[in-house]
Homo-oligomer: A and B are copies of this chain.
Amino acid sequence: MLNFKEQAEQFEYFLKKQEKKGLFKGSPQNLYDPCHYMLQLGGKRIRPSVCLMAAALFSETVTEDVYWSAMAVELFHNFTLVHDDIMDEAPLRRGKPTVYKQYSTTAAILSGDVMNIYAYRCLQYVNAAHLPAVLSLFNQTAIEVCEGQQYDMDFEQQDVVAEQDYIEMIRLKTAVLLAASMQMGAICAEATQEQAKRIYEFGLNLGIAFQLQDDFLDSFGTEEAVGKQIGGDIQANKKTFLAINAQAKADEGMALELSRLKELKGEDKLNGMLHIYQQLGVDATCKQAIELYTNKALEALELISVPAERKQPFVQLLNFLMNRNF
């Protein structure tokens, strides 16, 4: 069984092959250069890799249409990043200028659009017997990702966000695509509907746990382990799981203190916020939630009726993702 890293390499090889065949290298250049730029920024290729892993879970051989499904989710994911960066006015992505900064907003809109369509184009190569199921799943997921992005933007304008609404938002914005990537691999590998649904459940809960852990690490991680500066969410007053829980749990005095800190910048703000988070115990609440969703993921994986050693790459991935130091 290939592990995550090996599958990621397999996918990267497939992607390079498509690029050599001319993917995003044709005319008009002003349309395709930004697509190429975005793709070569790299990233961990998590979604396509788990798509391949899910196929390998149910079948000895990973057929070419699984690679096309993997490519579809990767292109779709990159399309959403290109457009999200415009909406969020983000200057950098993976340490490089975002597409709209490097080219223009117009270029980023149209190039994003064509990347989305190229994602669908990959689905053409899916075995016709599986195409209706794969297309439906992909459509539903793509719609949910847009809904998640909208809720995320809506929340930034709201005074109060309920915890369950926040979980629903990250489910839509992040988790469903990870889950669907796995289910697509499973469908192509001829898993039964029930088995395919279970790997979706695994991916969904892992995705939620992963996002919650991201929230946690931004406040309580270490810079070496996380690979970026701690406290970015706090400085930006982002409505993370920690922030909305702190707001919900704070008494009147603490609420005033939270409001005061929000107006600040720098170390004082960070330390003040972390202190309140700990006083209110939202760090523990977050850890509990991470554990809850991690366990749900493992339960779903448990129910999949293939030999245990086949599941090892997924268990490893979960451990790897969830044990980023904290």
Contacts and interface: CB of A to CB of B under 8 A. Distances in A.
Contact of A118 (B116, B120, B124, B143): B143
A83 interface: yes
Copies in the complex: 2
B30 A154 contact: yes
Interface in A72-88: 83, 86-87
A110 B146 contact: yes
Nearest to A86: B109
Interface in A134-178: 135-136, 139-140, 142-143, 146-147, 149-151, 153-154
A307 interface: no
A121 interface: yes
12 contacts: A28-B151, A28-B154, A31-B146, A86-B105, A87-B110, A117-B142, A120-B142, A121-B140, A121-B143, A123-B135, A128-B131, A135-B135
A132 interface: yes
Nearest to A172: B28
Interface in A178-200: none
B114 A124 contact: no
A229 interface: no
Among A28, A30, A118, the most chain B Cβ lie within 10 Å of the Cβ of A28
Contacts of A132: 124, 128, 131
A82 to B, nearest CB: 10
A194 to B, nearest CB: 21
B87 A109 contact: yes
Interface of A: 27-28, 30-31, 83, 86-87, 105-106, 109-110, 112-114, 116-118, 120-121, 123-124, 128, 131-132, 135-136, 139-140, 142-143, 146-147, 149-151, 153-154
Contacts of A154: 28, 30
A124 B109 contact: no
Given A132-B128, A146-B31, A150-B31, A106 B121 contact: no
A114 B143 contact: yes
Among A135, A143, A150, the most chain B Cβ lie within 10 Å of the Cβ of A150
Given A121-B143, A143-B118, A110 B30 contact: no
Given A28-B147, A120-B120, A131-B132, 19 more contacts: A27-B147, A31-B146, A83-B109, A83-B113, A86-B105, A86-B109, A87-B106, A87-B109, A110-B149, A113-B116, A114-B146, A116-B116, A116-B117, A117-B146, A121-B140, A124-B132, A124-B139, A128-B132, A135-B135
A124 B120 contact: no
Contacts of A131: 128, 131-132, 135
A153 B117 contact: no
A172 to B, nearest CB: 10
A132 B124 CA distance: 6
A151 to B, nearest CB: 6
Closest 10 A-B residue pairs measured CB to CB?
Answer: A31-B150, A114-B146, A121-B139, A28-B150, A117-B142, A87-B106, A124-B136, A128-B132, A117-B143, A28-B151
A28 B147 CA distance: 6
